Amino acid sequence: MSIEACKSQRGFTLMELMMAVVVVGILVAIALPSYSAYVRRTACEDAKGTLAGAAGLMERFRAQQNTYTGATLGAYAKSPVDGGAVFTVAVAIDNTGTSYGLTATPVDGGVLAGRGTITLSSNGVRGGSGDLDGAWGSCRGL
């Protein structure tokens, strides 16, 4: 085999490299929207779990103190509880201390920023606003 024949058989051609780049680009274009939707659904589901955990904390406080007045959310003030916040959770306790409302609001700059809120009240009423209005049924479609 001559030296010229060996030189022409080494490595990739520019065309082969460009085809590989195009294939990777197509795969990324297909996968990225699905991944983004998955991240939004996961954040929504985690917020619902955090609200349920906060409700349990509130009920334990009331069982011990016979009122919701003075209860704090502690670790449940953000969602997810560990890691960077995607939602902030606030509690509103009525003047008599007999009921409360929990509201999860997406943080500014987060994956669900400006999409609405998810709510849970002491009497079990679940709700939301904006795109998150039906979140208790399903977080799909976000």
Over residues 13-38, the pLDDT tens digits come to 889 999 999 999 999 999 988 899 99
The pTM for the full model equals 0.80
The answer to whether residue 6 is domain-embedded is: no
Q: Averaged in consecutive runs of 10 residues, what is the pLDDT profile of the chain (142 residues)?
A: 61 89 93 90 94 96 96 92 90 96 95 94 95 90 76
Q: What is the DSSP letter of 96?
A: T
Q: Which residues of 93-127 are buried (b: 16+ CB within 10 A; e: fewer)?
A: beeeeeebbbbbbbeeebbbeebbbbbbebeeeeb
The answer to whether residue 141 is domain-embedded is: no
User: How many independent structural domains does the chain possess?
Assistant: 1
The answer to whether residue 4 is domain-embedded is: no
The answer to whether residue 79 is domain-embedded is: yes
Peptide bond into 33 cis (omega under 30): no
The answer to whether residue 63 is domain-embedded is: yes
The answer to whether residue 8 is domain-embedded is: no
Radius of gyration (Cα) for the chain, nearest Å? 25
**Long-range pairs for 55-58 at CB < 8 Å and ≥24 separation?**
55/102, 55/120, 55/122, 58/91, 58/100, 58/102, 58/122
| Structure confidence at residue 12 (pLDDT) | 79
| Structure confidence at residue 9 (pLDDT) | 65
> In which domain, by residue range, is 29 found?
13-132
The answer to whether residue 85 is domain-embedded is: yes
The answer to whether residue 48 is domain-embedded is: yes
* Residue 131 CA: distances (Å) to CA of 13, 30, 49, 75, 77: 49, 24, 18, 26, 22
